Structure formats: structure tokens, C-alpha cells
Amino acid sequence: MNMNDIILKKRTGAELSKPEIQFFIDGYTNGEIPDYQASALLMAIMFQKLSMEETVCLTEAMKSSGDIVDLSAIHGVKVDKHSTGGVGDKTTLVVGPIAAACGVPIAKMSGRGLGFTGGTVDKMESIPGMKTTMESDAFMKQVNEIGLAVIGQTGHIAPADKKLYALRDVTATIDNLSLISASIMSKKLAAGADAILLDVKCGSGAFMKTRADAVALAEMMVSIGNLSGKRTVAAVTDMSQPLGLAVGNALEVMEAIHTLKGEGPADITKLSLELAGIMVYLGRKADSPEHGKLLAKEAMNNGAALDKFAQFVAYQGGNPKIVEDEKLFPEAKYRFDLKASESGYIGSIDANVIGLASQHTGAGRTVIGEQIDMSAGIVLRKKVGDEVREGEVLASLQGNMESKAKLGLDECKKAFIIQKNPPELKDLIQDIIGLSLLDTN
């Protein structure tokens, strides 16, 4: 078996066998296969595509390239949640405590942010004293004791994906459903959960710009998950404008706390309850997603979810008093307001531009490892469909470097479109994929 034959086979449109795919992943991960041959195969895949069987084999090979987490020491049905990334997406910090308060064990590994898509780990580290690393035994013990632990993803999970993604990024081979699906699902399957909920974003602030593309990606990932023995569901959700009002690390944690108190923005509240309801169902603590949603609402309304969040913070070294005192969060030195230049209705808010503006304030990274300003970011004062008068504040920007905050303000001006008539609003939750495939036992 050699790479030249494998490249030629895929270039002519033939289907690769499981041993051939395993040979490629093993060889490329350990350095025996050079970048130029891997690039050639990736480009052949771009043009000829992969079948579902090939995609599952690729996912399995990438999953097996590193550590596979064993969560068997944790009691109950472990449920993981993954978002494909978006601006202002702090749902993990809301749905995790809600699901845990409903009895579903959440043992989650999350990533850091790069560019304008914030990482859950970065957001957690805006909480004074919060630790995002721990030994495996302590991780399992915490989940068994309080039902919730979130830590940074280790570098030993699916190393083939890390190496392949870097190559795809510089060879224009990112935009392929099979390669995207295998990238995401190899890490999720290696993380050891029994069930997986995927939040697939679509719109200007998401990788998948259209609903059709997002649904296609969701369907493929759900199929991979179920074929791999994991109960998997995907929600296709709108990211044409930022989720919630806050964009930035400490700002988003504060908004998550407001949401757990029942005081959050309508969109983040609605999405969090929907996702939490599905997680409670996947964790077999509810008879249906609707029943799960009722339990999730109850956990939010009676304070159990907020208590779980405070407990989670305390267990990981953070100050649980943050749930009542926002002054404990990092504070920004500079604040600037973006004001409306005319009256009308907010026709659109480009989530991508808001994300870039937030990055400019210091809330996001431009390179891996760059230090970020935990206090920096943007708070939207208007959302799509809101009426606005000339001079009203559209958004407030903040940070600890005046030049960066002003740079963010200049970028933010490009995000808002004001029109004369109210716009047609998009559904926040556009589709749920995979529920019909699950057993009802």
C-alpha cells in the first residue's frame, strides 16, 4: 500500500477502503507521509467527495489517532454538547448547569478562542481563580459529586485532526462536508460521552452561511454519531446576528449568569432551554425533549441551575460570589458608545463584523497563545427588528487599551443596517435533526 496509489484511486472517483484511509491517517500523523502527498489527497477529496462509509472510516481513524477518554467511572448517561462556533455564544455556561441540575452528568472538554469566535475556556478564566485544567481522577470525581465539570481540551485528543486542519487551512481544502464532519466528530467521539448534542450555526457569523448547508452538515454529523454508537442530535440555529447582547469573555459570563437567573435576553434564554431540554432527554432524565424542556425551565425558575453554576465555579477554584456581585469581574478602563446616525428599524446586525470589532477591542486573539483582555468586548443595546431613533446607543464597546477600543468602535459601525420598515425576523431555531432516529427506551 502506498500514497501514490491512494491519491490516484480517489482522483479517479473510486471509493477508498478502510485500510487505505487508516494508512493515510497513521502515516500523516506520525510524519511518514509528507504534506505534499496529503495535500494532493485532500484536493482529490474536494473534487470527488467521500461517501458516508468513507467519512465514517475517516472519522474513526482520526479519533483513534490519539487518546480516547474513558468516562465509565462517571455514573449515568454522559451528554456532551458542541457548537460549531458563533459570536456571543455562551450557551455551554447556561445549558451545562441546567442539565446538571436535572441530573444529567456533564463532563466537558472545551477549546480556546481564536479570532472572533470565543472559547468557553477563555470565558471561564475571566472568573477570578477559576481553573480549567485538572487531573483525570479529579475531573471524574467532580462530575460524580456535582454533575458538572468543564476543562480545556488536551492536546492528545485526535492529533490527526489538529495536523490535518492546519494543512487544510493553507491548501483551500476546508470547505468539504466530510472533512468538516470528520474533524468535529473525531474529537467529540474521542471525548467519551454517551450522547452528543450538536449546535450547528448558520448565517453571517457562522462557517455555514445558508440553512441548506447547515442542515447538510448536521445530517452528516448525526449519521456519523449514531453509526458510531452515540445517541446524536443536532439543532440548526441562526447566527445572522450575535447571540444575546454580550460579546466578550467576562461580559458573556455575566450574561450567562443573568440568563440562569431568568433575566437574560430572549434569544439566549430560548435557545438554552431548547438545548438543555434535548440534553436532559438524551441523558434519559426525560421522556421527550418537550418534557426535558419543562424540567429545564423548572431548574432555571427555582434557582437550582444558578446554584449548580455557583457550585461548579467553587469546585474549580473560582469565586462563587460572582453570581451576586459583578464587580468581582475584570473591569474595563475605557468605554465608548456607538450611536445611530438616523432613525428607523435595525434591519440587520452582521455577526461577523461584530465579532471582528470585539476582537479589535482585545477580547479575541489574532494568533494562538496571544493574551486577551478579559474585560474587553461589546454590549449590544439594540437587536434586529428594534426601533431606533437618531442618537440612540446601538452598542457599547469597552477595553483596557483606548486605541483598541476605538478600533473596535470603527469596525462596529459597519455592522448595523438601519432601514425604514421593520425587517422580517428569522427563526432562531431553524431545524432539529436526528430525534426521529433515536430509540424511545
Give me the mean pLDDT over the 263-282 stretch.
97
Classify residue 399 by its DSSP letter. Answer: E
For the chain, what is the mean pLDDT?
93
Q: Quick one: pLDDT at residue 155?
A: 66
> End-to-end distance of the chain based on CA atoms, in angstroms?
45
- Nearest to 434, CA basis, from 101, 246, 197, 267: 197
Least confident piece of the model among 59-73, 118-132, 390-404: 118-132
Task: Report the relative pairing of strands 334-339 and 393-399 from DSSP bridges.
Answer: antiparallel
- Nearest to 23, CA basis, from 10, 6, 39, 8: 6
Confidence grade of residue 440 (pLDDT, cut at 50, 70, 90): very low
Burial (CB count within 10 angstroms: exposed 0-12, middle 13-18, buried 19+), residue 53: middle
Q: Nine-digit cell at 238?
A: 441562526
Residue 262 has pLDDT above 50, yes or no: yes
- The catalytic residues are 82, 161, 168, 183, 187
Q: Quick one: pLDDT at residue 315?
A: 97
Residue 153 has pLDDT above 90, yes or no: no
Instruction: Please give the domain boundaries of the chain with CATH numbers for all domains.
Output: 3-48 (1.20.970.10), 79-324+429-437 (3.40.1030.10), 332-419 (3.90.1170.30)
Residue 369 has pLDDT above 70, yes or no: no
> How far is 9 from 13, CA to CA, in rounded Å?
7
Give me the mean pLDDT over the 326-330 stretch.
94
Give me the mean pLDDT over the 327-342 stretch.
96
Q: Quick one: pLDDT at residue 404?
A: 92
pTM of the entire structure?
A: 0.92
- Measured in whole angstroms, the distance separating CA 359 from the mean position of its chain's CA atoms is 17
pLDDT in tens, 218-240: 999 999 999 999 999 999 999 99
Residue 433 has φ and ψ, to the nearest 5°, of -115, 130
pLDDT in tens, 91-150: 999 999 999 999 999 999 886 654 455 688 889 999 999 999 999 899 999 999 999 999
* % of the chain exceeding 90 in pLDDT: 85
> How far is 272 from 293, CA to CA, in rounded Å?
9
